[in-house]
Structures are given as C-alpha cells and as structure tokens.
Amino acid sequence: MKTSKEFDDILDECLERLLVKGETIEQCLQSYPEQAAELNPLLQTALVAKKASAIQPRAEFKARARYQFRSALREVASKRIRPFFGWFPRWATVATMALVLLLAGGGTVAAAGNSMPDNPLYPVKLATEQAQLTLTPSQIGKARLCAKLADRRVAEIIYMANKGDAQQIELITQRLDKRLVMLASLASAQKAGEAPKALAPAPIPVPSEKAKGGKDVYVGANNHAKLRMAVACYAVEHPEKLRAVLEKAPESAKPALRRAIAVSVAGYKRALESLD
C-alpha cells in the first residue's frame, strides 16, 4: 500500500502531466492503475479548475459562490474544529480551492494574501500558493515563487513571535523549511538543465532566426542570476530579522525562534550552493 507521501508524489507527477504537458486523465490513470480510484476525482477537479480560469461566470453566480464560501469559513471558525480542510487529502484541498476561488472572483484571494496564521482566511492563502506552484510550468518560475513564499513565512514567524505563539512558529518553520528545500532542489535541476553559470553576452538586436538561440540562453542565464541575487539577499536579511525579534520575544517562544533561525540559515546555504 502506498504511503501518503508516495501518493502525493504520484499525484504531483500526474498534475504536472495533466496541467503542464497536456496529457489526458486517462493516460495518467493508466500509469497508476492501483491509485486510479483515488486519483481520478482529484485530477478531474484540477482540470475543471484550470478550465474555469478562462471563463467569466455571471455576476449573480460569482456573488452566490462568494457568499457560500464565506459562510463555510464562518461555520468552520464557529465550530472550532481542526484546521480548515485538514481532513482532505493535500491535493484535493488545492484543486478544490483553486476552483472555488476562480469562480468566486479575486476579492477573497486578495484578502487571503495578506492573512496571518491566526486569521480564518490563512488556509485559503496556503491553498492558493500551492495552486500557483502547481500551475507554474518552469523550474525557474517555481524556484522564484518558492523564494517569495519563504519571505512570506519569515514575516509570519515574526508576527507570531510578537504574539508569543510557539506552536504556530513551529508549524510555520516547517513550511519555511519545505519551501527552502524545494527551492534548492529546483535550483539544482534548473541549473543542470537550463541555465549556464555565467551570464551570456547580450544578443545582437538583429531580427533573425539565428539570434533566437542566443537570446534564449541570455534570458535563461539572466533569470538564474536574478534568482541567485534575490536568494542571497534573503539569506542575509531573514536570519537578521529573526535574530532581532528573538531578543524581544517572550521566553516561551524563543526555542521555536532559534529553530526557525537555524532552518533559515541552513536552508539558504543549501539554496545558494545549488545556484552556484
């Protein structure tokens, strides 16, 4: 029997094939017949979510969807049950949230984007981020997004440290570590398969077919260099910010903060090594 992690890996592969490479659901299910029953509804939902981004629902439908979604949030908050969508498989949450948010419009997404872990919309923020990662086709694009999400996690750690919530700091630190590990992995793969270590010279601005190859190399190398610069800045900035808040944080939160600092330092070191 496949473990949860193994199933997540299988589903991640199938989503990549379905949403990025254009393969059919049937092709994905044929590769994993033992998991077909569980994979099929998740892939169907993800495909519908992707198609929904190209349509504009009527205003009354969008308003109804938004109302139903917010009502569900209030119900979850009032019952104080375990974290929102915690009982769903990880990718079911992502695909379903992507569909709901696309139908409901951008207002909820915008509000969730600034939410913190103690806000009812925070799970929407996480689900939206995962959907963005899934639908980003290139390795360099995913790596840039991972760096951006790591920056968000550090801001959230600082916010919860000021509130003295050690448990939330631990949870967010795990998310930070996950994004930094993913960043290093993507950087290694991108460097090996796409980008050279040094910037190529700018292509001569002559509109010809021969110039296209040089331009692609230049753009790829430039993207790699920009990513490394951003990661290098974060590698200095994030530990410094966390150390600054450590001095003022309640004693109960300091052990969790020290772990966050260690994860940040180690994670960015790995990422920079992968980008060099």
Give 20-58 pLDDT, tens digit per residue.
Answer: 788 899 999 999 998 888 888 777 767 666 665 454 555
pLDDT in tens, 160-193: 999 999 999 999 999 999 999 999 999 888 766 6
Portion of the chain with pLDDT greater than 90, in percent:
36
Joined together, the tokens standing for residue 31 give: 């590769």
Q: How far apart are CA 95 and CA 15, in angstroms?
A: 10
163 residue type, one letter: K
For position 20, what pLDDT does the model report?
A: 75
For position 219, what pLDDT does the model report?
A: 52
Answer whether 215's CB lies under 8 Å from 203's CB.
Answer: yes
Domain-by-domain residue ranges, the chain? 1-135, 138-276
pLDDT band at 80 (very low <50, low <70, confident <90, very high): very low
Q: How far apart are CA 183 and CA 189, in angstroms?
A: 10
For position 128, what pLDDT does the model report?
A: 78
Helix ranges (H only) for 105-165 are 106-113, 122-135, 139-163
pTM score, two decimals?
Answer: 0.60
Q: How far apart are CA 129 and CA 125, in angstroms?
A: 6
Contacts of 263 (CB under 8 A, 6+ apart): 173, 176, 177, 180
Q: End-to-end alpha-carbon separation of the chain, Å?
A: 40
Answer whether 217's CB lies under 8 Å from 202's CB.
Answer: no
Determine how many CB atoms are found less than 10 A away from the CB of residue 92. Answer: 17
For position 256, what pLDDT does the model report?
A: 96
- Arithmetic mean of pLDDT, 101-130: 72
Q: Which of residues 252 and 208 earns the better pLDDT score?
A: 252
